[in-house]
């Protein structure tokens, strides 16, 4: 039955222009159908171009069961709901109800918007023009989804002030409860036959259910995770606990608003808020440089950090006591009291580092800090959730296996899949791509590495007329390479961090001959097809920094259990990240391009073979001249002017 949909004259071929049957896609669709029928777990690695979205949508839509599809990013969530799902529903004649559900921080909170407006200004960092634009947009929107407000930038500092979170939401006590867009979105999800969410929302719901506060996502009979390789790390965040300076400063802001709008006779509220805000800033300074992840157990031994923890504890105690006096004065201040109680308890918990089985770590940004407790393993908890809920659970991504082994992924989530297998990509990598590990490479982390790479790779980039992604493993390397290439190249050089991600990608596409130097988010979830991107360069194998506290804790846990941390933790993590980066190159059957990995360890270390075997079967060379020739030969010729 499933095969009929994908047949040359099937409904998909009739409804979708250019559709052609793919054996791998049909094989995956059959496996998903089987998992739904037998209510079991399925793990499928589907290479780029397999068409895995259609492969799980067809059996899911035809099942007649309640379905949740969870994606790795909001961008894929939007694409799935607004593009792929309507196309597939029309082709199959699906008449059920579908819904898109995001986390509450994506939806306008009418009550908090009114509070900001009643303040008469937008605050120190908030843009008054943004506030006016949102106010105008709010009178017309049906969903309250801020991504639909074109006048509001995605990184606007106004967003946290006009959205709610679990800490500051007033719930049914809110005067605007009936107008609440979060409540409306959840109701639509409860009534829908298929709901599209993202991993953060899904896992937040599991964590909330665990604490007994309720459910965001209605229970379903079929749950599909796309981009499932991200799940273990995201799950670790949600099964742990965090205290952030943002939570503290937002509490201080709401106390100030409550004082100015509803309790003008309680001057101590404003003084308390100021003290709380100052305590958070002083704590941030005590934690040192920005952009750092450190061991919280070790940091707590510092006299300066100890002193600021005591001051922050005192500030939260005072806040708690003052708000207790204001109980009953306003819903905003009543909710603030609950939050102060919660944050006080959370601070006590993160400072009790004697409890085993967790990693205790902190992170800093220029203005903020976060204190985190992360469980070393989420396998037991995730397995328990699957067992209790039952139904079919499908996990798919282009990168799940390491050397054809799914053990690393399945063990981290406690999965016991009935089937787990890899499906090859339909792309002809032998003809479409070339992999180069250049000769005479400097050692990773050697002095002046960026300058040497700029000198070595400039001729290749020039011969290719730019059209290149240079993926790095550190922000410092991004800055150094961008500076070096800007001195040597006459081509546009774009660097991550200088403008928001989407704007950076738009600039890259507009130029058509740019070099984009990036890290982090550009390793995955970026889809550039055609000759605009025909060369992907990677600075070195993406091993997580050895001083990363989360990695150190996972390695120690592996060692205690008698395992080999390098082979069982570090290598698998790096292989999956590398596969994601490599996946940026060939996105279509017409694409061609070269992949350059600037790390000798691929050919000089025994473990290099694990990385190479995990990549697509791409022809290899050690010569950059071969790369230039390949790029020139496969380049789409420009039409000559008549």
Is residue 150 within 8 A of residue 123, CB to CB? The reply is no
Q: What is the pLDDT of residues 363-416, one digit of tens each?
A: 999 999 999 999 988 999 999 989 988 999 999 999 999 999 999 999 999 999
Is residue 572 within 8 A of residue 564, CB to CB? The reply is no
Residue 121: pLDDT band with limits 50, 70, 90 = low
pLDDT at 214: 65
pLDDT, mean over the chain: 91
- Domain 241-375: top CATH class: mainly alpha
Distance CA 553, CA 418 (A): 31
Residue positions counted in the chain:
642
Cα dist from 174 to 112, 168, 205, 589, whole Å? 10, 11, 21, 53
Q: What is the pLDDT of residues 90-120, one digit of tens each?
A: 999 999 999 999 988 899 999 989 888 877 5
pLDDT at 147: 87
Model confidence at 535: pLDDT above 90:
yes
Give long-range contacts, CB 8 A cutoff, 24+ apart: 607-615: 607/567, 607/571, 610/402, 610/403, 610/571, 610/575, 611/541, 611/574, 611/575, 611/578, 613/403, 613/404, 614/401, 614/402, 614/403, 614/404, 614/575, 614/578, 614/579, 615/435, 615/578, 615/579, 615/582
| DSSP, res 554 | H
| DSSP, res 446 | -
pLDDT at 539: 96
pLDDT at 344: 95
Q: Which are the contacts of 111, defined by CB distance < 8 A and separation ≥ 6? A: 164, 170, 174, 175, 176
Q: What is the pLDDT of residues 411-448, one digit of tens each?
A: 999 999 999 999 988 999 999 999 999 999 999 888 99
pLDDT at 445: 85
Residue 640: pLDDT band with limits 50, 70, 90 = very low
User: Phi and psi of 396, rounded to 5°?
Assistant: -140, 150
Model confidence at 218: pLDDT above 80:
no
Model confidence at 641: pLDDT above 50:
no
Domain(s) labelled CATH 3.40.50.300 in the chain stretch across 2-97+192-238+378-423, 429-634
Cα dist from 636 to 418, 431, 584, whole Å? 45, 14, 19
Cα dist from 30 to 38, 46, 56, 418, whole Å? 12, 14, 9, 13
> CATH number of the domain at 429-634, out of 1.10.630.10, 3.40.50.720, 3.40.50.1110, 3.40.50.300?
3.40.50.300
Distance CA 261, CA 596 (A): 60
Does CATH number 3.40.640.10 belong to domain 2-97+192-238+378-423? no
Which of these ranges, 123-132, 436-445, 458-467, has the smallest mean pLDDT?
A: 123-132
Q: Give the side-chain half-sphere CA count within 13 A for 490.
A: 3
Residue 130: pLDDT band with limits 50, 70, 90 = confident
Q: What is the pLDDT of residues 247-269, one digit of tens each?
A: 999 999 999 999 998 898 999 99
What average pLDDT does this structure show over 36-47?
Answer: 96
Model confidence at 122: pLDDT above 80:
no
Q: What is the pLDDT of residues 275-329, one digit of tens each?
A: 999 999 999 999 999 888 899 999 999 999 999 999 999 999 999 999 999 999 8
Smallest CA-to-CA distance from 471 within 506, 544, 435, 520 is with 520
In percent, the amount of the chain with pLDDT more than 70 equals 97
Distance CA 19, CA 21 (A): 7
Domain(s) labelled CATH 1.10.275 in the chain stretch across 241-375
Residue 3 corresponds to which tokens in the numbers above? 């095969």
First to last CA, the chain: 53
pLDDT at 41: 97
User: Phi and psi of 563, rounded to 5°?
Assistant: -95, 180
Model confidence at 205: pLDDT above 90:
no
In percent, the amount of the chain with pLDDT more than 90 equals 69
DSSP β-bridge partners for residue 597: 538
């Amino acid at each position: 039955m499933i095969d009929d949909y994908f047949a040359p004259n099937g409904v998909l071929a009739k409804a979708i222009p250019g559709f052609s049957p793919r054996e791998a896609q049909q094989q995956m669709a059959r496996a998903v159908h089987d998992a739904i029928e037998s209510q079991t777990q399925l793990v499928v690695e589907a290479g780029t171009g397999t068409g895995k979205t259609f492969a799980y949508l067809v059996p899911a839509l035809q099942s007649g069961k309640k379905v949740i599809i969870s994606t790795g990013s909001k961008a894929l969530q939007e694409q799935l709901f607004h593009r792929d799902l309507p196309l597939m529903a029309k082709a199959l004649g699906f008449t059920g109800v579908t819904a898109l559900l995001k986390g509450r921080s994506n939806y306008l909170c009418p009550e908090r918007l009114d509070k900001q407006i009643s303040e008469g200004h937008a605050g120190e960092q908030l843009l008054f023009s943004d506030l006016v634009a949102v106010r105008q947009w709010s009178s017309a929107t049906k969903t309250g989804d801020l991504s639909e407000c074109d006048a509001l930038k995605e990184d606007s500092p106004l967003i946290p002030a006009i959205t709610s979170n679990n800490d500051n939401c007033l719930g049914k006590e809110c005067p605007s409860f009936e107008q609440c867009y979060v409540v409306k979105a959840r109701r639509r999800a409860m009534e829908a036959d298929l709901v599209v969410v993202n991993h953060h929302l899904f896992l937040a719901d599991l964590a909330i259910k665990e604490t007994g506060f309720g459910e965001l996502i209605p229970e379903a009979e079929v749950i599909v995770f796309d981009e499932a390789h991200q799940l273990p790390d995201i799950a670790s965040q949600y099964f742990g606990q965090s205290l952030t300076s943002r939570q503290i400063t937002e509490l201080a802001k709401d106390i100030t608003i409550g004082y100015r709008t509803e309790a003008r006779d309680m001057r101590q509220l404003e003084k308390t808020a100021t003290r709380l805000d100052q305590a958070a800033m002083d704590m941030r300074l005590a934690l040192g440089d920005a952009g750092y992840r450190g061991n919280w157990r070790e940091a707590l031994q510092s006299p300066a950090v100890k002193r600021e923890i005591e001051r922050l504890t005192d500030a939260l105690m005072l806040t708690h006591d003052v708000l207790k006096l204001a109980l009953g004065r306003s819903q905003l201040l009543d909710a603030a009291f609950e939050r102060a109680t919660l944050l006080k308890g959370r601070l006590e918990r993160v400072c009790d580092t004697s409890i085993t089985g967790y990693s205790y770590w902190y992170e800093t940004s220029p203005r903020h800090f976060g204190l985190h407790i992360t469980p070393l393993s989420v396998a037991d908890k995730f397995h328990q959730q699957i067992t209790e809920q039952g139904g079919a659970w499908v996990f798919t991504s282009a990168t799940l296996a390491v050397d054809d082994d799914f053990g690393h992924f399945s063990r981290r989530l406690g999965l016991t899949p009935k089937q787990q297998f890899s499906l090859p990509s339909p792309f002809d990598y032998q003809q479409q791509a070339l992999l180069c590990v250049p000769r005479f490479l400097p050692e990773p982390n050697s002095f002046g590495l960026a300058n040497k790479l700029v000198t070595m790779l400039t001729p290749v980039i020039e011969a290719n007329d730019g059209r290149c992604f240079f993926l790095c493993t550190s922000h410092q390397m991004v800055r150094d390479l961008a500076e070096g290439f800007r001195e040597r190249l006459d081509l546009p050089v774009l660097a991550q961090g200088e403008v928001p991600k989407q704007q950076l990608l738009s600039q890259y596409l507009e130029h058509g001959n740019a070099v984009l130097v990036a890290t982090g988010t550009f390793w995955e979830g970026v889809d550039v097809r055609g000759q605009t991107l025909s060369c992907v360069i990677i600075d070195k194998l993406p091993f997580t920094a050895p001083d990363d506290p989360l990695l150190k804790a996972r390695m120690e846990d592996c060692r205690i259990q008698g395992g080999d941390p390098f082979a069982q933790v570090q290598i698998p993590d790096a292989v999956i990240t590398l596969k994601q980066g490599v996946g940026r190159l060939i996105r279509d059957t017409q694409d061609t391009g070269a992949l350059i990995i600037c790390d000798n360890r691929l050919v000089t270390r025994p473990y290099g073979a694990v990385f190479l075997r995990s990549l697509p079967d791409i022809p290899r060379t050690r010569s950059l001249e071969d790369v230039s020739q390949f790029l020139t030969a496969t380049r789409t010729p420009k039409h000559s002017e008549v």
